[in-house]
Every structure is written in C-alpha cells, then in structure tokens.
Amino acid sequence: MITLNRRAMSEMLSTTEQAALRFCESHHWHEAIWLATAYQWHPTSKMPPVLGLVFADGRKGIEIFRTWTDAVGNVDENDDLRVAIIEGDMPGQTAGYTVRLSPSLNEYLDEDDTDRRFVGRVVRMHPQFGNPEAPDMLARFKQEYQRHGEFMLPPVVQRDDGELYMDVHHGIIKRELVLRHVSDISDDEPDMLSLRECDDEKIIRRAAASIDTWTADENSAEA
C-alpha cells in the first residue's frame, strides 16, 4: 500500500485528490477481486466509450467506486485518478496488456522519494485467452476514445440472471487516458514496478474460473 505521510499531505490534497487516494486504497479491492476489463461503445460513435472493471464480487466493486462518487460525483474534473493502459509483453507473463489505476500524486513526491514505489491497482489482461479468433476490443476502444476525448470508468457487476452490466450510476467520467508501451518505460518508474507486481498465473486462473468472454452487440469483456 501507499506509505505517504497522510497527516502531512491531508492539507495539501484537494477533495478529488483525496477521493482518488481513497479509491485506490479501499480495503474492498481484496474482496471485490478485479478480474477483467469490459468495453462498450455506441454503434455509430455518438457517445464516448466505456471502460468497465469486472469484479468477482460486484457489490464490493460498487463500494470501491462509491468512495469516489459519494465524495465528488461522477466526473474527474482534474484527472486526479490516473488510468493507464500499458501494452507490450513482459518476461514470464502471457501476452496481453496491463491496466493500472493510481492517484495522480506525482507533483507531491520528490524524485528520490521511495514512496514513488506505490503501484496502485493493476491487473494483466489477456484478450486472446481461450479464443484466438476474438476481435481486438482494446484497439476499437482506443479509436473511440481518440474520437471523443473522454470515456467512462464504471464497475461491471453480475445481475441475478447471471448477465453482466455496466453500473453507470457509479461510473466516473474521465478525459485523460494514459497509453504507454513497455518499451518506453524505464525500470524505476511506478508503471514498470506495477508491471512486475502482476501475478500472471493467478490472474489467469481467477479469470478462467469466474468469467467467459462477454459479447453482446458492441460489448466485450477481456480477461
């Protein structure tokens, strides 16, 4: 977990910065279990796309998002919650990409501060896992994001009938999406430290046991 001096920083952080920190530090992450990403977009591109987080326990996932929405609403005006998608292969890990969520607190950290090691919340995605014919959903999502310049980040929960749905009521509207490639990240950057934190095999087992590929018109989940 992050080891910043919370007392010293409390007066420095805005309401949204504090909400971003609470979002990433929520104890509900351990119970919710982040399994996959789910993408959604309008069939004629009339609305911004959606990047959903699929949880094994949807109720706990909603509680994570409530740490943000109950405090500041549904918009991240200053992009205080950083969402990064990192493409490229890592040694010893199955081919795919990584999604990392973290508070944007870099301006408060010295270059040599050991607290820069905070990895946030990170999970490795395997879009072709179990289905080599699956379309490249990430590529389409990026295309829609570049078209609109914003996206929504909501929890994805399982209904009583077993179907998954995007809970947009607790979604966060964001403008900034950090898109990076492993080859452009230095060894001491938090993003690289996050990549090394991924327990690849555990993620694969959880995803395979809990979710199949979800496809409904212009929707898809990747594990």
**Neighbour tally for 3: CB within 10 Å:** 10
CA dihedral 219, 62, 86, 211 (to 10 degrees): -50
* Bridge partners for 147 per DSSP: none
- Of 109, 87, 96, nearest in space to 17 by CA: 109
Q: How many domains does the chain have?
A: 1
The token duo for 78 is 């200053």
Residue 21 lies in a domain: yes
User: What are the pLDDT tens digits along the chain (223 aa)?
Assistant: 444 455 555 567 788 888 888 898 899 999 999 988 899 999 999 999 999 999 999 999 999 999 999 999 999 999 999 999 998 877 777 778 889 998 886 544 544 554 444 557 888 887 765 555 556 889 999 999 999 999 999 999 887 787 888 999 999 999 999 999 888 888 777 777 767 766 544 443 333 333 333 333 344 555 4
Contact indicator for 38, 154 with CB cutoff of 8 Å:
no
Q: Is residue 143 part of a domain?
A: yes
| 106 within a domain of the structure (yes/no) | yes
- Domain of residue 66 covers 6-222
Is 100 domain-assigned?
A: yes
**Does some domain include residue 87?**
yes
Residue 1 inside a domain? The answer is no
Based on C-alpha coordinates, what's the Rg of the chain? 17
User: In this structure, is residue 151 part of a structural domain?
Assistant: yes
pLDDT on residue 32: 95
Residue type, 144: E
State how far the Cα of 47 lies from the Cα of 145, in Å rounded to an integer: 10
